[in-house]
């Protein structure tokens, strides 16, 4: 094998692994449905029905990128600006399903 071929193959492998590390996990329909229900119950009043925020007052959650999960969890648990803290009101499972629902409908996931 030619030395540049093995370097190219190594670079391609590194690029694929990097993309996989930042990609969303496979779609789980049950988790998405649970997230949609939690969103309707807890989030839609401020963030808009079915993630469509026409008010411009609250953050458009569809803008969250896959690498912003820590930011999302922190905001949900601690609140941010006019958003209240949901700590003790939402379970970890609900927060995880909300994230899955949001990421499934995110601008960069379409």
For the structural domain made of 27-109, what CATH number should be given? Answer: 1.10.760.10
Q: Name the 3-class secondary structure at 83.
A: strand
pLDDT at 109: 75
pLDDT at 19: 45
Percentage of the residues of the chain whose pLDDT score is greater than 70: 75
Structure token digits, residue 42: 């807890």
pLDDT at 24: 56
Return the domain boundaries, the chain: 27-109
56 vs 100, residue with greater confidence: 100
> Residue 16, Cβ neighbours under 10 Å: how many?
10
Render pLDDT for 43-81 as a digit per residue (tens, 0 to 9): 999 999 989 887 777 889 999 999 999 999 999 999 998
């Amino acid at each position: 094998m030619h030395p540049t071929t093995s370097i190219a193959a190594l670079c391609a492998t590194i690029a694929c692994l990097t993309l996989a590390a930042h990609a969303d996990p496979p779609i789980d329909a049950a988790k998405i449905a649970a997230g949609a229900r939690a969103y309707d119950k807890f989030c839609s009043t401020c963030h808009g029905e079915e993630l469509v925020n026409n008010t411009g007052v609250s953050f458009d959650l569809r803008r969250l990128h896959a690498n912003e999960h820590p930011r999302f969890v922190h905001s949900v648990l601690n609140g941010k600006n006019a958003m209240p803290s949901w700590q003790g009101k939402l379970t970890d499972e609900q927060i995880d399903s909300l994230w899955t629902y949001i990421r499934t409908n995110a601008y960069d996931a379409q």
